[in-house]
């Protein structure tokens, strides 16, 4: 997937979430970095590298990750559960749509 496809799918998915207040994205050639500012003083940190395929979504509260989904060359696709966000649990490849859906489920749990 290229960076423009990633951005389009990301913005489309985030626009459907009632708890997203603002999105701030920067791109540099083949890298996307950004944040979705969420309600309740939380934000979603987002990273995508088109060349390496590295993808990271981290839900942040009080300056620490409380949940996330990542893909990197070392561990492949994995998630960081709410119960223990420092751990890595292997998962199958996720689409942006699936990640947004999982974020929505996590958000409902946090309320």
Which pLDDT tens digit goes with each residue over 37-56? 999 999 999 999 999 999 99
- For the chain, the domain total comes to 1
Q: Nearest Cα to 48, choosing from 24, 27, 68, 64?
A: 27
- Three-state DSSP at 102 gives helix
Q: Nearest Cα to 68, choosing from 55, 52, 56, 77?
A: 56
The strand pair at 42-49 and 31-38 is best described as: antiparallel
The strand pair at 42-49 and 55-61 is best described as: antiparallel
Name the packing angle between helices 3-14 and 96-110 (round to 10°): 30
Digit-coded pLDDT (tens) for 82-100: 999 999 999 999 999 999 9
User: Which strands make up the sheet holding 31-38, listed edge to edge?
Assistant: 20-28, 31-38, 42-49, 55-61, 64-72, 76-80, 89-90
Segments forming the whole domain that contains residue 65: 3-110
Instruction: Evaluate if pTM is beyond 0.85.
Output: yes
Residues shown for the chain:
111
- Three-state DSSP at 94 gives coil
């Amino acid at each position: 997937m290229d960076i423009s496809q990633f951005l389009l799918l990301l913005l489309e998915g985030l626009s459907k979430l009632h708890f997203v207040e603002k999105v701030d994205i920067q791109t540099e050639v083949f890298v996307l970095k950004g944040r979705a500012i969420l309600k309740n003083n939380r934000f979603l940190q987002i990273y995508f590298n088109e060349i390496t395929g590295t993808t990271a979504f981290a839900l942040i509260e009080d300056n620490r990750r409380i949940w996330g989904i990542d893909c990197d060359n070392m561990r492949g696709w994995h998630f960081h559960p709410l119960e223990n966000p420092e751990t890595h649990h292997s998962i199958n490849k996720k689409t942006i749509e699936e990640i947004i859906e999982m974020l929505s489920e996590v958000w409902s749990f946090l309320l």
